[in-house]
Chain A
Amino acid sequence: MSTLTKFSAIPYTGPAPTNRSPYLPAGVEQIDARALEIGAKIASPDLEHEAGQDMPTFVVERGKIVDALRALRDHQDLQFTLPLDLWGVDYPRRRDVGRFDVMYQLYSLKNNERVRLKVHVREDESVPTSVGVFRGYNWFEREVWDMFGIRFEGHPNLRRILCHEAFQGHALRKDYDPAQRWLLTEKDIAKIIPTIVLPREESDFEQVTLNLGPSHPATHGTLRIVVTLDGETIIGAESEIGYLHRCFEKMSETHTYQQVIPFTDRLNYCSAIINNVGYCMAVEKLLAIEAPPRAQHIRLMLSEFMRIADHIVCIGANLVDMGALTNFWYLFQPREEILGLVESCCGARLLPSYTRIGGLAVDAPSDFLSNAQRLVDKLPKYIDDVDKLVTRNRIFLDRVVGVAPITAADAINFGFTGPCLRACGVPYDVRKAQPYGGYETYDFDVPIAEAGDTNARYLVRMEEMRQSIRIIQQGIDRGLPAGPVIVNDPYVALPPKAKVYNEMESLIYHFKLIMHGIQPPVGEVYFRVEGANGELGFYVVSDGTKNPYRVRVRPPCFPIFEAYSHMIIGQTIPDAIAALGSLNIIAGELDH
């Protein structure tokens, strides 16, 4: 893999790219061997193995992609049933195989492994749609169309999804000029009224089309759901998103690796540290470094605290939507204290940007563990109180049991992860399945429920908070490991100020890092953490310069909200509101 010819679009004027050798993942032999096994099982000439990747990767010919996906999904021994992600990458200088890569990532719940498929696409070519294989790919394909202008033949509804209808061009193409501004006028608004496919026969009564959102009290954040009502029963629904689109991926391409971290805060702003950790670990994987044990320990404990905080927001807001106001404010008190703990570490509360590539920004304060212990002692009481007030309340049960259910098979087909998937009885949790950052050494259970309805999601979240408390308690009992909180690597971490002022080398390293940033080896990498909503993945492509060539985030809400409009058909408005709250759609993450 050469450096400049393949990757760079714009003539490069910055510092010389790294002369380090291209990225080679750890255990690449096993991955390649496994890839060959998978290839042999599928026994298709269309699957061409690409060696040296961090997961089994195949390059598939454009026309054969649907067959390949179906084969991987249906093969008895493989069962790649969970469509995790679909995204594009633009290499405008690549002449031989076409400019775009469309990437598919699948996960096998049976074998606990992932596979990545790549399709090379030229600018004038289109890809056959895979919605027929995985329903969840509907929105993902729309996003690729929106961002790259790659057409998906046969897609049922290939509209823009994150950008508005008056937008010209495709933003994630390397030759798109980000300085352009597109105004959405009244005339264009008429275009974005979604068409609704009515699943039922016309009834005698007049049907009403109602706009829930983008500014509606129950759509915490800016979502828009257009529903068609027969009485109060929803007979047609379509979701419209993108109101909080902030070009996270495009902005990342013009910032250094370190500068991307604050953007990740804004993804799921209810549990920002988990996003920080996910992104930093992705880059660390690319750099083949590991954060010191102390940093990992603090990261893990704060991640679990943030998970609790996120579930508190979700459950509290969900109950407010159902009219139970008290729980929201009552639960927000421990959440405030959790944020206070984060504040004691780094000074920020909601959007901490606490992690750095290679560790943490600063060390946790000396009373971190005692404060954490105080919180852990308090939290169960709050959770139990809400449990007592709500969980067996008859009105609450009538509102949630059997409301907006989704079967496990559907949930998997849509690409659900996290609590919403576990509420359907599928025990998939990244922390257990592919542990990272020390989770493998902790003792905790993954709660599941069977029903897949709003109540099940509520129960799973309640139980997950208790399991997180268990993890934190173990973390406190072990104590913080001694040592630094950031790696001692001058190409990655800033040297301490004392050294900068007193040593020539440190000053140079400091200067180089500030001016030229971290320059990881050339390559692509995917890393995932268990976010509060599900699998939060970061795919990073490096061309050896200080800026990421491409950062792709896999937001767990995205496929979940995609399924939402299917889940609420036949339900009433109050049910739809209750279900929306239980899915915990965070617009910042959804719209990246």
Chain B
Amino acid sequence: MIPEPLMRYLVWPTVKFLVAFVIVQVVVAAMTYIERRVLAFMQARLGPNRVGPWGLFQAIADPVKLMLKEDIVPANAEKVGYFLGPMLPLIPAFVVFCLIPFGPPPTFVVTHVNVGLLLILALTSTGVYGIILGGWASNNKFSLMGGLRSAAQMVSYEVPFGLSIVGVLMLTGSFDLVRIVRYQESHAWNVLPQLVGCFIFLVAMTAENNRAPFDLPEAESELVAGFHTEYSGMKFAFYFLAEYAAMLVNSCLMVSLFFGGWSLGGVIMGRQVGLTTVNLQHLGLLGGVIGATIFLVKVMLFMVAYIWFRGTFPRFRFDQFMDLGLKWMIPLSLVNIVVTGILILAGAGTRYPAMGEVVLTLFGIVVIAAVILFLMKGPKPKARPAGVAHARRVSEV
């Protein structure tokens, strides 16, 4: 018989991790298929529909093809860096899944770390090293530029990414994702009081993942394929896998931090209403599965949002993109922190502690409305073209 501490700290986490790992793999594979089908739907195309029923086996055929492809190493590449490049982003992307609570504890939490959020932030930000390394080691100017862009992009968006979460931390008072989710059951989904934070997080996580409209490091029309121009076969697949895994991580974070995690319900007047953690725990393993399903559905909504962005927006130019991050996102997230802090303190002193959160929600709505109005206004008038005028007939001049 295995001693209890060993079971608790080694065996069970390993088993859970393996299960989570397999699920992540499946979700990533499914995502490639879903992305192509959803994009095709948006673009009035069919998408993959040949392999298996509705083209479902495309998700298997693609990895198989990538595995069988020749692994080309450019002649003058830096061999070690070229090899390490695709590996490095993969490791944090998978380790992070141990820290995310997929369902109500204890069953569906692989490891319960009380500074889980901090650890996740620290781990995900190391993913950029692989991209820089791969871009540099390929000995290709396009790859190098992609790698450099990626470095600048990830470093500058790491800041608003982290800052946008601070509001949530201040509200919940914890780095523990389980506690953050449970806090939202007893109050409201954090998206309401932290609308600005959620908005910044949404933009920053897209940028952090190099996804359209922020896919500048790979910008296919400019830099051929950016940092992975020279990669083929499984190495290319690793970059791909890491990107999708990171997308998944960020969507999970989004759901946990702002959209109530695995729960669908809340504590109203001290009573558990709907599928809250306590109610799910009463149902035992079934409750866990239900919670995990709810979590997965929410996560998939954000994964589809990624695809939606890709189908809608043109790509930024690099300088404009850095402008957005450094001149708009960071100040806005700082303002959000200050306002959140003031209102929490102000609410705490009154008879109605929820007042602060209500005002915060209103603040968020106002800010988002202002941003949308600003964007609707269009560019500066002096740069505006005179527009299309109907010309006179030349032959009559």
Contacts and interface: CB of A to CB of B under 8 A. Distances in A.
B65 interface: no
Contacts of B388: 447-449, 459-460, 462-463
Contacts of A450: 385-387, 389
Interface stretch (B20-28, B42-50, B70-78, B234-242): B42-50
A191 interface: no
Interface in A121-145: none
Interface stretch (A194-202, A393-401, A540-548): A393-401
A574 interface: yes
A325 B43 contact: yes
Contact of B311 (A325, A422, A459): A325
A330 B221 CA distance: 19
A75 B39 CA distance: 58
A448 B318 CA distance: 30
B395 A218 contact: no
A567 interface: no
B384 A432 contact: no
B351 interface: no
Nearest to B212: A323
Most B C-beta atoms less than 10 A away, residue of A323, A446, A449: A323
Contacts of A68: none
Contact of A427 (B145, B317, B387, B394): B394
Nearest to A397: B379
Contact of B375 (A390, A394, A429, A432): A394
B314 A445 contact: no
A445 B394 CA distance: 10
A395 B43 contact: no
Contacts of B220: 217
Nearest to A324: B314
Most A C-beta atoms less than 10 A away, residue of B212, B215, B392, B395: B395
B221 A112 contact: no
B385 A447 contact: no
Interface string B275-297: 00000000000000000000000
A392 B389 contact: no
Nearest to A464: B388
Interface string B307-331: 0001111111111100000000000
A577 B221 contact: yes
Contact of B391 (A326, A396, A447, A456): A447
Nearest to A389: B312
B68 interface: no
A453 interface: yes
Q: Which 5 A-B pairs have the closest CB atoms?
A: A323-B315, A450-B386, A451-B385, A427-B391, A329-B43
11 contacts: A217-B220, A325-B39, A329-B44, A394-B378, A395-B313, A395-B314, A432-B395, A445-B391, A450-B386, A572-B319, A574-B222
Given A325-B212, A395-B316, A449-B387, 8 more contacts: A330-B43, A394-B379, A398-B320, A399-B314, A434-B395, A449-B388, A450-B386, A459-B387
Interface of B: 39, 42-45, 141-142, 145, 212-213, 215, 219-224, 310-320, 375-376, 378-379, 383-395, 397
